[in-house]
Structure 1
């Protein structure tokens, strides 16, 4: 009840003359159904998306239809196909949970609506200065063409009942796997989790990590990845099933950890281990670890295609996701557990208190325990990296 009162008060505030343009957006959005194309592989995220739709329909008359994707490229391909067919209005995709290479591809091809982020009332809680996390996506300037909604950090999880000392660095995985053959693996790099495992190693092993922030060239790729392939050649023979086959995604690898087939798994959600324990999907002894130098982190964004049929409703949803009360609910380990994208310095005392009061769990790491956040390489590196891995290690 209190949550609804807060959002009702916010809705009333947004109707003031000072935000008349936003009120026009709210008026146009009423009655719209936003087709939110988003990865559908996590039950807690799916439940949160459903809750968002219930709230926006109640508050603004904007419903949300979750179009569940296995790969974001599915939605991007749909938009590209619609443009090729001359469907420049009334498109079938209104909002996309998007990141990295897919955002870059849509931006370069002029497939995005906007800029719109600065027009969202709740953007006041974001740090949108150049170079800030909410202003870059895999080093690519966002320029208001996508709106942040959750933080992601790459982490490893393990069963502390079977592992006393997990590797302290990516380099140490080689020795650990040699001492524990068959007890670790990674998702296939065609999946973003497997690709992130390779990127994490690349950042640590590259002779010049700064080179990864620029678009890839063949010369730079050869120089920066040489130590990576040497490392991987040493690691691979001691992977699960001899490195000849790989789990399709993180969920399947987590099941291998739960079943005792492997001792280490990985995730892009620091809260996923605690959540899986609560759901009975991992043992109580599961814990999170990160390499001492930190891990890759990024912001998850939502973008609106250029031909979205319900662009006003999509903006309402994007703005709702940035409300401090919504962000606090999202960070709650009992709901989703994703860290907030908001700048704490821009929150008032009641909003800070809501975050401070959130529950914790033994397997939920603190931001401090996660160490430094390492920037994603430029999006072009991931594409080239996964292509080269497939060339070298698949037949």
Structure 2
């Protein structure tokens, strides 16, 4: 079945999926959810996040009789590909995935291929407490149309140890100067790892004279001209980077470990509270702090979606609603547990860093492909 046929077939499936749960009757949804197992495909690379989801699972089981099964994935694109295959095979019910943690390119792909149940978000009881001043209805410039529920706020920030680097860089150009002054002490995760690709996008936004093309589809721009400043920058950086730019850390966690070991001067994370959490759990020294460059931190909202063919739609709705509740959001935002900023207004919550919005999702894959062509080993 070709893509056009898939998209055509999805309209009927989408309509039947939407009618499978009466969103106007929340009591009935909670009643139907009892006894259901919700398979939540979400990144599994953080002990703090995994522990938080175990807590959420315990609460959902006790309160609603819903079993939350965290399916740990390294890249949610793998889940999206599985759902595309289920759509192509005509599996319009009894799907293998009930919830997904998504945003950006993966949301665009799921939305375009009719892989999402909904719209459902504004029917959730917890929607009333969501902070609407945040960009909760847009995902990397793509309207969410009620197909994914906001869960948390991500910001690309760096971490330094004040004892070894008292004055961290305030820009990508200052980072390059630092790398040249201290060869082998600066790096970033290898794309297409999420933090590595985010580094590329943030660098390109700062180095570009005109950022407007980055907020439109990549195929509408002169890709070579727009990205030339990035490749020039990386050529210079790699020459003095950790392991001469021939090897790169696999993920954010590895940069934090290398920072703690004294191999790097900077670590990278998409959680502005990650340093505080790491200090509390003993994986970073008390003298480590997070910071963002003067131009602002690349920022986005991350979301939860429900596939069109989810086997436990009611259970997934209950789980999503609970994870958006004030109680669950407050625990998530607490650096004792996860430290992921909330999407609801919480008393005493920390202010975020100055933000810089994400480019159009099409730039993600385009930058990854070009980076691998130029620097992939």
SS of residue paired to 1:83:
helix
Stretches of 4+ aligned residues off by more than 3 angstroms: none
1:319 CA drift (Å): 0.6
CA contact (8 A) 2:41 2:79 kept: yes
1:113 CA drift (Å): 0.6
Aligned equivalent of 2:314, options 312, 315, 320: 312
1:26 CA drift (Å): 1.1
Match of 2:373 in 1: 391
Distance in 2 (CA, whole Å) between partners of 1:99 and 1:241 is 32
1:278 CA drift (Å): 1.8
Distance in 1 (CA, whole Å) between partners of 2:202 and 2:254 is 20
- Segments of structure 2 that go 5 or more residues without pairing to the other structure are 1-22
CA contact (8 A) 1:206 1:224 kept: yes
Aligned equivalent of 2:189, options 187, 190, 201: 187
Distance in 1 (CA, whole Å) between partners of 2:267 and 2:35 is 43
Match of 1:361 in 2: none
Q: Encode CA deviations 1:95-137: one digit per residue, 9 max, x unaligned.
A: 00011111101100111111110110111122558xx510011
Distance in 2 (CA, whole Å) between partners of 1:261 and 1:77 is 37
CA contact (8 A) 2:24 2:123 kept: no
CA contact (8 A) 1:100 1:137 kept: yes
Q: TM-score if structure 1 supplies the norm length? A: 0.87
CA contact (8 A) 2:93 2:311 kept: yes
Cα 1:109–1:57 shift into 2, 3 Å: same
Q: Tell me, yes or no, if structure 1 residue 63 matches structure 2 residue 47.
A: no
Q: Tell me, yes or no, if structure 1 residue 367 matches structure 2 residue 351.
A: yes
Q: TM-score if structure 2 supplies the norm length? A: 0.91
Q: Encode CA deviations 1:40-99: one digit per residue, 9 max, x unaligned.
A: 000111111111111111111111000001110121122112222221100010000011
Q: Encode CA deviations 1:307-361: one digit per residue, 9 max, x unaligned.
A: 000011111111111111221121111121111112x3xxxxxxx5xx32x7xxx
- Segments of structure 1 that go 5 or more residues without pairing to the other structure are 1-18, 345-351, 359-365
Match of 2:163 in 1: 161
1:289 CA drift (Å): 1.4
CA-based RMSD of the aligned residues comes to: 1.5
Match of 1:7 in 2: none
Distance in 2 (CA, whole Å) between partners of 1:263 and 1:226 is 27
1:197 CA drift (Å): 0.7
Match of 1:94 in 2: 98
Q: Tell me, yes or no, if structure 1 residue 30 matches structure 2 residue 4.
A: no
SS of residue paired to 2:82:
helix
Within a 5 Å distance, the mapping from 1:1-395 to structure 2 comes to 21-127=25-131, 133-217=135-219, 219-342=221-344, 344=345, 352=346, 355-356=347-348, 366-367=350-351, 370=353, 372-395=354-377
CA contact (8 A) 1:203 1:209 kept: yes
Distance in 2 (CA, whole Å) between partners of 1:275 and 1:72 is 24
Distance in 1 (CA, whole Å) between partners of 2:222 and 2:301 is 26
CA contact (8 A) 1:207 1:224 kept: no
CA contact (8 A) 1:93 1:308 kept: yes
SS of residue paired to 1:82:
helix
SS of residue paired to 1:134:
coil
Distance in 2 (CA, whole Å) between partners of 1:373 and 1:133 is 11
Match of 1:3 in 2: none
CA contact (8 A) 2:213 2:221 kept: no
Q: Encode CA deviations 1:144-194: one digit per residue, 9 max, x unaligned.
A: 000011111111001111112111111211111111110011000110100
Aligned residue-pair number? 355
Distance in 1 (CA, whole Å) between partners of 2:32 and 2:225 is 53
Distance in 1 (CA, whole Å) between partners of 2:302 and 2:222 is 27
Distance in 1 (CA, whole Å) between partners of 2:71 and 2:192 is 21
Q: Encode CA deviations 1:218-273: one digit per residue, 9 max, x unaligned.
A: 64322321111111111110100101110111111211111111111100011111
Stretch moving more, 182-191 or 78-87: 78-87
